[in-house]
């Protein structure tokens, strides 16, 4: 019988201080597993010495493949590039920052062998800065309320997937897809393994506030009808209130000779309606932009080089 293979896909962006430690810990974690293993590192346009270190690992270890993207495309595109290249029967995705423990693969694999198509690592706790944790908590509450009620309350950043799950995901060809949330929404047999996410030891996060805000907008627009329904409901409410206000002005004029409160209220009403219209136009533009990207089918990443001693 052919030995099963496990692929470990690792997006990397400016992680020179963590890569070797991550590699050592992951190598120790898989050393006694009854599987063939490969480590697929995806260098997502790093500006430090990450690529140099990754190339050294690829030269010394035949299990290591390094995909070098032409620029920084973001961690989601890097995941897609790694998943397209991975050859395993099961594919694990984990970051190189060591906030998520590489050793958790030993807890994932028995659940996969038991027939689960998707094994999530879900946070039982986190050691993030206060405001980062606060924003994350608010986002996940909104996500559970508006789109995915069963989504883990603290999210997930690592998972192991059967090959057919990754193939189904890649076949979607969505340009703005958020991989883990899209896979979660696909269904299939899923199980969750709790773990504690620790603080960074080296380097800084590649996810500043504006990226997190974009992520939140992407999720709600892609996975919830609430924004569209909100526009419809607001239109009905504002139209109803405007009708009642107009009727009130007519009655005041007919029965009391009162001509209304003047230009201040009119200017306020016009300004308010203008703001509502601009807000909804922006929301519609979010949907149009996503449709435009999907129709044009632009690649979400470009590969510049692939390094692997296995092919040398």
Instruction: Please tell me what DSSP assigns to residue 104.
Output: G
- Asked if the model's pLDDT at residue 225 lies above 80, the reply is no
Coil, strand or helix at 257: coil
Compute the distance between CA of residue 65 and CA of residue 128 in angstroms, rounded to an integer: 31
Which whole number is the average pLDDT over 22-34? 91
CA angle 68, 97, 45 (to 5 degrees): 25
Q: Could you report the per-residue pLDDT of 72-92, keeping only the tens digit for each? A: 888 888 999 999 999 999 999
Region 58-66 average pLDDT: 92
CA 198 – CA 166 distance, rounded (Å): 27
Nearest to 217 by CA among 295, 275, 286: 286
State the pLDDT confidence band at 239, using cuts at 50, 70 and 90: low
Distance CA 237, CA 105 (A): 52
Q: Give the pLDDT score at 134.
A: 64
What the block records as the tokens of 223 is 């996975």
Task: Over range 63-69, report the average pLDDT.
Answer: 93
**Encoded tokens for 137:** 């908590």
Query: What's the CA dihedral at 110, 86, 55, 2 to 10 degrees?
Result: 60
Q: Are 245 and 294 in contact (CB under 8 A)?
A: no
pLDDT in the model for residue 51: 92
Q: What pLDDT is stored for residue 74 in this prediction?
A: 82
**pLDDT band at 171, cuts 50/70/90?**
confident
Asked whether 102 and 22 are in contact (CB, 8 A), the reply is yes
Residue 192, pLDDT > 70, answer yes
Query: Which one of 3.30.420.40, 3.90.550.10, 3.30.479.30, 3.40.50.2300 gives the CATH number of domain 5-143+154-208+300-311?
Result: 3.90.550.10
Alpha carbon of 5 to those of 59, 170, 211, 283: distances in Å?
Answer: 21, 19, 34, 44
pLDDT-derived band at 110, boundaries 50, 70, 90: very high
Q: Which comes out higher in pLDDT, residue 32 or 211? A: 32
C-alpha–C-alpha distance, residues 5 and 156, integer Å: 24
Q: Using one digit for the tens of pLDDT, what is the confidence trace for 280-304?
A: 776 676 667 666 666 666 677 888 9
Average pLDDT over residues 169-191: 81
Q: How much is the pLDDT for 185?
A: 82
Q: Which of 157, 190, 280, 203 is nearest to 17 (CA)?
A: 203
pLDDT score, position 136: 65
Q: How confident is the model at residue 97 (pLDDT cuts 50, 70, 90)?
A: confident
| pLDDT over 60 (residue 17) | yes
pLDDT tens figures, 114-162: 999 999 988 876 555 665 666 666 766 666 766 667 777 767 778 999 9
- Between the CA of residue 222 and those of 173, 191, 255, what are the distances in Å? 14, 24, 52
**Which pLDDT does position 118 carry in this prediction?**
94
Q: Write down the pLDDT at residue 197.
A: 78
Is the separation of the CB atoms in 24 and 277 below 8 Å? no
Which secondary-structure segment (H or E) carries 28?
A: helix 19-30
**Average confidence (pLDDT) over 265-273:** 65
Q: What pLDDT is recorded for position 178?
A: 77
Higher pLDDT pick, 258 / 305 = 305
Q: Is the pLDDT of residue 219 over 70?
A: no
- 199 DSSP β-pair partners: none
pTM: 0.70
pLDDT grade for 181, boundaries at 50, 70 and 90 = confident
d(CA 252, CA 11): 67
């Amino acid at each position: 019988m052919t030995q099963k293979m496990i692929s470990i896909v690792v997006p990397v962006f400016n992680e020179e201080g963590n890569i070797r430690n991550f590699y050592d810990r992951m190598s120790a974690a898989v050393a006694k597993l009854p599987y063939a293993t490969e480590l697929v590192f995806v260098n997502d346009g790093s500006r430090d010495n990450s690529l140099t270190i990754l190339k050294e690992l690829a030269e010394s270890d035949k299990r290591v493949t390094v995909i070098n993207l032409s620029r920084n495309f973001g961690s989601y595109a890097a995941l897609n590039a790694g998943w397209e290249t991975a050859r395993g029967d099961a594919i694990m995705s984990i970051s190189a920052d060591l906030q998520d423990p590489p050793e958790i693969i030993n807890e994932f694999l028995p659940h996969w062998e038991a027939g689960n198509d998707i094994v999530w690592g879900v946070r039982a706790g986190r050691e993030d800065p206060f405001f980062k944790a606060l924003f994350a908590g608010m986002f996940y509450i909104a996500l559970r309320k508006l789109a995915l009620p069963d989504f883990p309350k603290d999210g997930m950043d690592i998972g192991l997937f059967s090959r057919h799950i990754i193939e189904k995901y890649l076949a979607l060809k969505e340009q703005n897809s958020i991989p883990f949330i899209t896979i979660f929404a696909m269904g299939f047999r899923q199980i969750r393994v709790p773990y504690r996410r620790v603080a960074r030891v080296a380097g800084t996060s590649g996810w500043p506030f504006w990226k997190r805000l974009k992520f939140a907008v992407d999720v709600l627009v892609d996975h919830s009808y609430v924004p569209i329904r909100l526009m419809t409901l607001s239109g009905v409410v504002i139209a109803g209130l405007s009708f009642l206000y107009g009727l009130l002005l007519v009655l005041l004029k007919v029965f009391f000779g009162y001509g209304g409160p003047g230009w201040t209220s009119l200017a306020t009403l016009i300004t308010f309606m203008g703001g509502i219209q601009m807000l909804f136009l922006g929301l519609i533009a979010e949907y149009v932009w996503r449709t435009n990207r999907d129709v044009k089918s632009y690649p979400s990443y470009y590969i510049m080089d692939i390094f692997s001693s296995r092919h040398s």
